[in-house]
Amino acid sequence: MSKIVIEKNVMVPLRDGVKLATDIYRLEDAGATPALVARTPYNKDGMLAGGETFNILRAVQAGYTVVTQDVRGRYASEGAFNPHIQETDDGVDMLAWVAEQPWYNGKIGTFGGSYLGGTQWLPARKQPPALQAIAPAITFSAGYEGCSYQGGTKVLHDLRWVVANIVPAEIERRRARGKTILESDSPLDVDGAFSELPLATHPFIQKYAGFYRDWLTHRSDGDYWQQSSMSDSYEQITVPALNISGWYDIFPWSTFENFKGMRERGGSEMARRNQKIIIGPWTHMNFSGSFPEREFGWAGSAMAIDLPGIHLRWFDRWLKGEENGIDKELPVLIFVMGVDEWRSEADWPLPDTNYRSYYLHSGGQANTLHGDGSLSTTAPGEEPADVYLYNPLRPVPTVGGQVILPGGNAMGPRDQREVELRDDVLVYSTPVLNQPVEVTGPIELCLFVSSSARDTDFTGKLVDVFPDGRSIILTEGILRARYRNSFTELALLEPGEIYELRLNLWATSNVFLPGHRIRLEVSSSNFPRFDRNSNTGGDITTETADQYETAVNRIYHDKERPSHLILPIIER
């Protein structure tokens, strides 16, 4: 076997003179080969230890030169880090540099997950000539909705990213340059930071993560967020894409948006015809399929489908021209939970989807899992509304789901029974099922609501209730009422007036088996996955805890105002 040559910290110059540290992995006697490129803020030196989704050494032995790079302002690279904003031009410059190297044969592909997905999509908007294919995993589609915000609320699990991944490295960079590091500059306590009010003025963020302050203060969509958006630029992207995510990832909705958007609006026929998507029972960066409260087994792991091998087949097709059939396969590969098996499909949403309404019912006492809330396909008649008090200083806690939070069991398929005991959580369940019910596709919740406040939030959560009582989260969503019409223009509520709201609960694929029940939870907070609504209608970024107000919120489900959950049912 040929010797693998590794070149470390080659400094690649950009158009403005800043140099980025780059590692090169290649076979000693391979000659000119296609190049696979990954650009990371997480230290390129750690990428060799991976392998669940992409294996660098396996790719080199398969005939590729692999190039990894620390992005601007991170680890061994020069410059200042400004997440996402810098990656378009820097990525274009990097690919142009690769195209000039003697070991390069004219074809480039890109790979990587999370932030590394953005470093693929963003420069692809500029159509770099050598770029032939990309493989973005667990990544976003736009800077605002589905990344920094969801339903108009600020997601806070990206604060963990700042505290755990971004700030410590920045402190070390400053220490290496001889700058004084104060004891108060030690890493911020994540839990404490989540509770800080107002967070945007926290001195730690001001000093080390000014960009996060910008994310907090740009609370509506607009020009600032367009700089890091792919969803407005699919027409400019002309390459095939292998899209990868998980049902419990923080980006499944964005991944489907990228897949659908490119199939419909991609900038070339080749791009439109050659989009592929894989969704497993995974969280963000956990591809094992194994969780303390829900086990998907070996079948649910990335290794079961050989995700590194799928990457190589993808690049062999588009960079080497091999007719290996990957472009002839059905474009959608999903793991169907419940039956716990992989299945290929022709499109997303599935062409034979039957959208069915499940209506909310109660006698006005749906509070807690012991209340009288129910869920059925029968439309309501005359029923009293359900009411609860939302106190932003006593928020409903986040328990699992599509989130990144501290703790090994803090994400993914968690049991919700503790949450369902709260009186500010409304619980609606079907009777025990006699037949399996498959729910595969995008999910929407239509709520008729009123509030005593000028602004408040509403949440929805889809849950699979097991015969043993476990209430396992599948997917969820939220909507800040002021953004009910648009994420760019605010519209406050008139207290006591009834409004129809549409909540995007993202998507799932799950067979509710006989003996199980389908459950919906409704509330007004999910903290610290999302920031808390102060209920004042004011600027949440600058408000302090003593300004927060409580809200009396009502959910209506009667003949004129039939609140309902819309489920994508598959019957075959």
Write out pLDDT tens, residues 314-372.
999 999 999 999 999 999 999 999 999 999 999 999 999 999 999 999 999 999 999 99
Dmax (CA) for the chain in angstroms is 78
pLDDT for 393: 96
Model pLDDT for residues 40-66, shown as the tens digit of each residue: 999 999 998 777 899 999 999 999 999
pLDDT of residue 407: 60
What is the structure's pLDDT at 172? 75
Please check the confidence at residue 210 and state whether its pLDDT lies above 90: no
pLDDT value, residue 400: 95
User: In terms of Cα–Cα distance, which of 475, 386, 474, 464 is closest to 432?
Assistant: 464
Tell me what pLDDT residue 294 has. Answer: 96
CA distance 241 to 238: 9
Arch. (CATH architecture) of 4-145+226-345: 3-Layer(aba) Sandwich (3.40)
- In the predicted structure, residue 262 carries a pLDDT above the cut 80: yes
Residue listed under structure tokens 């509330």: 523
Between these two residues, 190 and 502, which has the higher pLDDT value?
A: 502
Residue at 536: amino acid letter: T
Name the residue type at position 568: P
Q: Please state at what angle helix 115-124 crosses helix 87-98, rounded to 10 degrees.
A: 80
**CATH T-level fold of 354-570:** Jelly Rolls (2.60.120)
Residue holding tokens 């109660």?
362
- Look at residues 213, 219, 218 and name the one whose alpha carbon lies nearest to residue 198: 213
> Which residues are identified as catalytic?
114, 249, 284
Bridging pattern class, strands 564-570 and 354-361:
antiparallel
What are the residue ranges of CATH 3.40.50.1820 in the chain?
4-145+226-345
- How much of the chain, in percent, has pLDDT values that exceed 90? 86
Whether residue 565 is predicted with pLDDT greater than 80 in this model: the reply is yes
Tokens of 99: 């195209």
pLDDT in tens, 112-155: 999 999 999 999 999 999 999 999 999 999 999 989 999 999 99
Compute the residue count for the chain.
572
Q: Where in the chain is the domain with CATH 2.60.120.260?
A: 354-570
